[in-house]
Structure 1
Amino acid sequence: MTAPTTVSGVSLETLLQTLGSTVASAVSAPAASGALIRSVTLLESSDLAEEAHAGPPQSGDLCVLVGVRASEILTWLISLASRGREQRPRAVATKVLSAEVERAATRAGVALVAVHPQARIDLVLSTVRSVLAGASHAPFGGYADEPVAGEHDLYGLAQTVATMTGGLVTIEDERAQMLAYSASDGLADELRMLSILGREGPADYLRRLREWGVYDRLRRERGAVEVPADKELGWRRRLAVDIRAFSDATGTPVEPSLGTVWLQEGSRELDPDAAAVLEGAAVLAARLIERSRSAPTQEALQIQRLLGLRGGGVDVPSLAAALSLPSSGPATVVGITATTRPDGTWTSVIHDVAAGVRLHASAYARESLVTTTEQRIYVVIPRARAAGLSAWVSSMLDRLGRRAGLTLRAAVAAPVASLADLGSARAEADRVLDRAGADQVSTLADSRTSVLLGEIVELVAAQEQLRDPRLQTLLDDDEARGGALVASVEHYLDRFGDVRAAAAALHVHPNTLRYRIRRAEHVLGMRLDDPEDRLLLQIQLQCRRREAG
């Protein structure tokens, strides 16, 4: 279950308006649902069972259910009916419905929201969180029944443009993945509905747009591009404009594109000035996207301070209270990184992967928190259970890695006694991730040899007085003679002085290798059968390999 975030609050009606009827709609809305929604929580089967039998729930005002059967929802709702109003959520959103569930929700005084079966739960969560975050920017502390403020939020911007133009707006990133959309009036075409439900443009439609040269025109032209209606495909007329940052010095577009703002014609023709409004919206969207990508949220800053990533002097009790974390008990940190994928860098997809990590982590441990840096994702797990943790991390990495086309690696820190020690746990995870390893999930205990050796090599490499000039003499001799003494010594040492094994690896006769070793000993002024000389030379060679990459 995710940690609820306290904001001024919005009404359920506003949340449903922002989600749109394509994604979610109210099934029942008793009087209690008129209260403000201030937090959202993801719950799975185990969470419902625990809350049904373990006393007052700790969930948010809006509970989004995932992987839960109708019978489990029914049992949970029946248990809620016997509790006071403040001990019940205001609303429950689920893909699984039945007549019994509807009646139980009504008796419990809880609003019931039906989520479309094809809608992605992470989209629902991110949308609700975006609206709740926008509430903290609204004038006078909240906007219980007003649209999202467009100057602060992409959803608010989409709704503002829709209102001004009479159309339906979607905002996509550079990979055609949905960032935000306006409420629908019931005339959304198939392209819009599929994009919203799947959170990205359907492949067949995107291919057709590319064949028509729409994306080429968007990147090439400054201004709105028209896409005419197509009865065969079942889509309505659209205007689109490229989202591009502009240089402060010259006012020219800056590569690459940040995405696209789409405006679909709805129940009436678009307003005459729709193109100009759309162009202005693209400028605002570029600012919002760049701001969101460069500036961490307040919660992210708090988590990073707790992890020691934002300096010292942390008031742990206050931060724990702000993040709804338990003040006592063991906790651990999981660090996650990845290799560079063929068509781009890890940093280009880290936030998408982090969204998936956040979803899995919330289901695994309700109080877990997730944050990112430029290269890594960190998961904080309070009350960590050592049993099964590595297996869960491995399963999560398999799923997310396949989806993103990445090879993901993780380091699990040993549990620490309190939240005040999370900085050291994060540092431990970093120590493991800093060493390239074959294991998908590792701990310091599992990889202590490679970690300590790597840190020793880094220490030696960083201090000139610890570098042995005799190795450079050998390198110079190799370069001058076109020899292979360094490679011969490396193979000889790596095979513990086994001449035949090293010679076979080098594809030379053992006598040739013996000659090279004698020659290397002469140039180095060392004896390679001396344990201290061997150890020192191996460390120096490791430093050289590290510098060579």
Structure 2
Amino acid sequence: MTNDVLQSLVDNLADRLRRSVVIDDSSFRLLVASRHFGDEDAVRIATVMNREVRTDVVERIVSAGVASWTRPGRVTVDIPGCLPRWCAPIRCRGELLGYLWLIDAGEGLSEPEADLAVDAAERAGIALYEDAHGRAVAHPRHEDALRALVGGSPAAHRRAVDELSADTVLGAPGTGFQVVVVHAVVTRDRAGSGKTTARADCDVALAAAVVDGLRAVPGERLLSVADEGCAWGVLVAPGGPPPGRAEAFARTTAARFAALTGQAAGVAVGVGPVVDRVDAIADGFERAQLAARAAAVLPERDGFVRCEELGPYEVLLRIPREDLKSLARLPVMRALDAEDSRQVLAETLEVYLDNAGDVRRTAEALCVHRATLYHRLRRIESVTGCSLQNGDDRLALHLAVKIRALAGGLHPSPRHRGADTS
């Protein structure tokens, strides 16, 4: 996966700059190279053909001090057949992971061109960091088993249970498991620059952030899986993870993700129940997914929801997204909007129903006099044709306002990739 990401980065950058681009690892081993644009020299051709950089070239580059660079610069190597290079060190969280190289025969790079190259180096850093650190948490075979555990056919699910139990990868008998699911939510342009964070960049950053979040939780065996727009992990501990561990994971993951994406995106974290059997992890995953969806669409939850806190949303979030959007325009809500474009009546109705029809608590929450509240409630009944003294009418109205709250915050659904269902 990492080489595919890197290849895409160098190909896109090369096409935009009309220059050939290569990325080496921190030991100057060639990782990926773009096609040439007539700017290649003898050293570049030999490097691509042999998949390694000549020793004498490496020695000259090292002597130029590039390993300590934190910003791009120009390197001149006094060797026949080697033109000057423009080099952007590839770093993530301060760790040197490689180098992005452009041949610079003398015309230099304009500021916009340099910005493009630096941006590509930053993205490459995220990919290489995730590859270096993220995959150490769970062996790929265990990742496949975890995917099968929550998204495979019944036969694949049974094989996954047997495999994970036989490897004792999820602990001894008496172990408790808790699934935490994290969705990436793109929030705004990166640092106000007008550039949005690409989906692929978010995916790589999310996987790395979840690994860091899991590692920040002490004393447990941890596994993580990353898919498109979604990453999840299993907290494992005798008797189950203690209180506060999921919150600590969420805080670290959110901070790491913000750092890796330049504040361009946020995370929504859902926490499942503690279960005591490997084959029950799938149920925990399903409820954690619902909680993560709630965290993504309900601003008042601050991006973190436990499944026990879902309330009616545990049912409503099982409704397909497109159906939720359609239901958000139920006739009663359209009538309220037509009567009151500022949505004061809709807010009053939601707070009143959330407080189980308690007039005192509702008036205090809205900071209005009870007489004002009674007036608004009579208007709501008149506009909707519903009676707030009727249980069915109150249920219908409460569902309507909750569905609209969900639909208003819907984002594209992260795709969870299940295992082969054969």
What is the TM-score of this pair, normalised by structure 2?
0.54
Distance in 2, matches of 1:399 and 1:548, equals 26
Q: Which residue of 2 aligns with 1:238?
A: 85
Does structure 2 conserve the Cα–Cα contact (< 8 Å) formed by 1:339 and 1:346? no
Q: Which residue of 2 aligns with 1:339?
A: 185
Distance in 1, matches of 2:283 and 2:208, equals 25
Asked if 1:535 corresponds to 2:398, the answer is no
Q: Which residue of 2 aligns with 1:525?
A: 385
Cα drift, residue 433 of structure 1? 0.9
What is the TM-score of this pair, normalised by structure 1?
0.43
Q: Which residue of 2 aligns with 1:456?
A: 315
Distance in 2, matches of 1:469 and 1:310, equals 33
Cα drift, residue 307 of structure 1? 3.9
1:372–1:191 CA distance, 2 compared to 1 (3 A)? farther
Deviations 1:253-292 (A, max 9, x none): xxxxxx9952689xxxxxxxxxxxxxxxxxxxx9xx9xx9
Distance in 2, matches of 1:183 and 1:455, equals 63
Of 430, 435, 443, the residue aligned with 2:294 is 435
Distance in 2, matches of 1:416 and 1:503, equals 40
Asked if 1:372 corresponds to 2:219, the answer is no
Asked if 1:393 corresponds to 2:249, the answer is yes
Q: Which residue of 2 aligns with 1:213?
A: none
Of 330, 335, 355, the residue aligned with 2:176 is 330
Cα drift, residue 312 of structure 1? 3.4
Cα drift, residue 377 of structure 1? 1.4
More displaced, 326-335 or 373-382? 326-335
Does structure 2 conserve the Cα–Cα contact (< 8 Å) formed by 1:413 and 1:426? yes
Deviations 1:221-259 (A, max 9, x none): xxxxxx67399xxx9822789xxxxxxxxxxxxxxxxx9
Distance in 1, matches of 2:66 and 2:224, equals 31
Deviations 1:6-31 (A, max 9, x none): xxxxxxxxxxx9863x9xxxxxxxxx
Cα drift, residue 528 of structure 1? 2.0
Distance in 1, matches of 2:230 and 2:327, equals 35
Name the aligned partner's letter for residue 351 of structure 2. D
Distance in 1, matches of 2:214 and 2:327, equals 48
Q: Which residue of 2 aligns with 1:194?
A: 68
Distance in 1, matches of 2:311 and 2:172, equals 33
Q: Which residue of 2 aligns with 1:162?
A: 47
Cα drift, residue 548 of structure 1? 4.1
Give the secondary structure class of the aligned counterpart of 1:415. strand
Does structure 2 conserve the Cα–Cα contact (< 8 Å) formed by 1:503 and 1:513? no
Does structure 2 conserve the Cα–Cα contact (< 8 Å) formed by 1:168 and 1:188? no
More displaced, 367-376 or 330-339? 330-339
Distance in 1, matches of 2:183 and 2:328, equals 36
Cα drift, residue 394 of structure 1? 4.3
Does structure 2 conserve the Cα–Cα contact (< 8 Å) formed by 1:333 and 1:422? yes
Distance in 1, matches of 2:294 and 2:50, equals 54
Distance in 2, matches of 1:470 and 1:414, equals 33
Deviations 1:19-45 (A, max 9, x none): 63x9xxxxxxxxxxxxxxxxxxxxxxx
1:166–1:352 CA distance, 2 compared to 1 (3 A)? closer
Give the secondary structure class of the aligned counterpart of 2:178. strand
Of 196, 202, 207, the residue aligned with 1:349 is 202
Distance in 1, matches of 2:208 and 2:165, equals 22
Name the aligned partner's letter for residue 202 of structure 2. V
Does structure 2 conserve the Cα–Cα contact (< 8 Å) formed by 1:167 and 1:264? no
Q: Any stretches of 5+ residues in structure 1 without a counterpart? A: 1-16, 23-147, 170-181, 196-201, 209-226, 242-258, 266-285
Distance in 1, matches of 2:343 and 2:403, equals 14
Cα drift, residue 376 of structure 1? 1.7
Of 345, 348, 355, the residue aligned with 1:491 is 348
Write the mapping of 1:93-112 to structure 2, written as runs, cut at 5 A: none
Give the secondary structure class of the aligned counterpart of 2:182. strand
Cα drift, residue 372 of structure 1? 0.8
1:468–1:502 CA distance, 2 compared to 1 (3 A)? farther
Does structure 1 conserve the Cα–Cα contact (< 8 Å) formed by 2:177 and 2:241? no
Distance in 1, matches of 2:334 and 2:384, equals 10
1:303–1:469 CA distance, 2 compared to 1 (3 A)? closer
1:518–1:469 CA distance, 2 compared to 1 (3 A)? farther
Q: Which residue of 2 aligns with 1:413?
A: 272
Write the mapping of 1:265-284 to structure 2, written as runs, cut at 5 A: none
Of 209, 229, 234, the residue aligned with 2:76 is 229
Deviations 1:302-343 (A, max 9, x none): 144244134432212235557955464333322223432422
Cα drift, residue 160 of structure 1? 10
Distance in 1, matches of 2:154 and 2:227, equals 17
Q: Which residue of 2 aligns with 1:317?
A: 162
Name the aligned partner's letter for residue 352 of structure 1. A
Distance in 2, matches of 1:432 and 1:350, equals 20
1:228–1:393 CA distance, 2 compared to 1 (3 A)? closer
Distance in 1, matches of 2:56 and 2:227, equals 33
Does structure 2 conserve the Cα–Cα contact (< 8 Å) formed by 1:488 and 1:506? no
Work out which of the two has the higher radius of gyration on C-alpha atoms and give 1 or 2.
1
Distance in 1, matches of 2:394 and 2:320, equals 18
Does structure 1 conserve the Cα–Cα contact (< 8 Å) formed by 2:221 and 2:236? yes
Give the secondary structure class of the aligned counterpart of 2:181. strand
Distance in 2, matches of 1:473 and 1:412, equals 34
Of 217, 231, 235, the residue aligned with 1:381 is 235
